Amino acid sequence: MGIIQKNTILSELTVWEAMRRQIISLPPEANLAAAINRLIKFKVNAVLVADEEACMGVVSKADIMGAYYAGLPIDLQVSDIMVSPPLFCRMTDTLETVLEQMRHHAVHRLYVRGGGDGAVGVIAYPDIVGILYQYCHECRYSRSRRTDKGGDDPILRFRVKEVMAASVYSHGADEPLFQLMEGLSEYRMGAVLITDDRGAPVGVVSKTDLVLAYKHGRDPGAPARAIMTSPVRSCGEAEYLETAIRKLIFSQIHRIFVFEDDPSRITGVLSLSDAARVRSGSCHACVSSRITVGLPV
């Protein structure tokens, strides 16, 4: 009996094609304020902690948020809170392998090992979704390449509803930041929806907002409304996945909230990691056409 092997675009693309070459790092004695400066300045979610000899660990926004929650001083050294050791992949690994490794270790990025002990790059969900988006944009089945835009679309395209997470975690605008941090930490999320008294969305508080609040010396007892970002970025459930990914990538956000008909009633959330998991930027064509039946090894 043969085995079914599901080949996707990501089985054919390697880390080398998607990774970022710029690695944002700090020495172990740097403090948390310097780490936040790097995170904001270079728009990354984690910094590599390394000295001249070795890569020692990683400090992410989640780690820094934990330090804020615990009331640790901001001049604490990054080596005191880093997660060690950093996880690596190789340039020749396929993106499919990397996604699996990220899922297995529950991490959002992997550093890329070169010939020596050091890191030569980094790869995270946005890099993978970005290359998927490019791939779909160039594909002959792409919506942007259709000449007959008014006619029936022969391609079955992904809609946001098929990919989004249908549960949305929210907090009230007057709830203190430390409660938001508890929720974000418990559910391993990057941001939380903020709602008013009637449950309507009024803003979003992300880990970025929280690490900035930490750096700006804001009391963790301050209400969510003090640091939330508004308006809430949202899209309809029926919107094409391709359109939603485009919004995520070009608005430089990691998640977009989803509504069915009424934008004031949020029904789900779509993140870049959800988009990466479907292995396609837009349609079923490249997924279904690449399912091959092979002989058992």
Binding site for another protein (CB under 8 A): 20, 34, 36-37, 40-43, 126-127, 130, 133-134, 137-138, 144, 212, 215-216, 249-252
Q: What does the block give as tokens for 116?
A: 């020596």
CA distances, 81 to each of 28, 49, 119, 210, 286 (Å):
10, 11, 20, 17, 42
Least distance in angstroms from the C-beta of 106 to another protein: 23
Which one, 26 or 110, has the nearer CB to another protein? Answer: 26
Q: What does the block give as tokens for 253?
A: 């956000």
Cα–Cα–Cα angle for 232, 201, 42, nearest 5°? Answer: 30
Which one, 36 or 268, has the nearer CB to another protein? Answer: 36
Which one, 53 or 250, has the nearer CB to another protein? Answer: 250
Which one, 6 or 43, has the nearer CB to another protein? Answer: 43
Q: What does the block give as tokens for 211?
A: 């690490």
Least distance in angstroms from the C-beta of 130 to another protein: 5
Least distance in angstroms from the C-beta of 230 to another protein: 10
Least distance in angstroms from the C-beta of 173 to another protein: 17
Which one, 192 or 267, has the nearer CB to another protein? Answer: 192
Least distance in angstroms from the C-beta of 217 to another protein: 10
Helices (H) and strands (E) in the chain, counts: 12, 14
Least distance in angstroms from the C-beta of 291 to another protein: 27
- Whether 164 and 256 have beta carbons less than 8 Å apart is answered as no
Q: Which residues contact 202 (CB under 8 A, 6 or more apart)?
A: 173, 194, 195, 196, 225, 228, 230, 232
Which one, 125 or 259, has the nearer CB to another protein? Answer: 125
Buried b (16+ CB within 10 A) or exposed e, 5-40: eebbbbeebbbeebbbeebbbbebebbbebbbebbe
Which one, 137 or 161, has the nearer CB to another protein? Answer: 137
Number of other residues whose CB lies within 10 A of the CB of residue 222: 13
Owner of token pair 């679309």: 153
**Where are the alpha helices (H) located in the chain, listed in sequence order?**
9-12, 15-18, 32-41, 61-69, 95-105, 125-138, 160-163, 177-187, 207-215, 241-250, 272-277, 285-288
Least distance in angstroms from the C-beta of 2 to another protein: 38
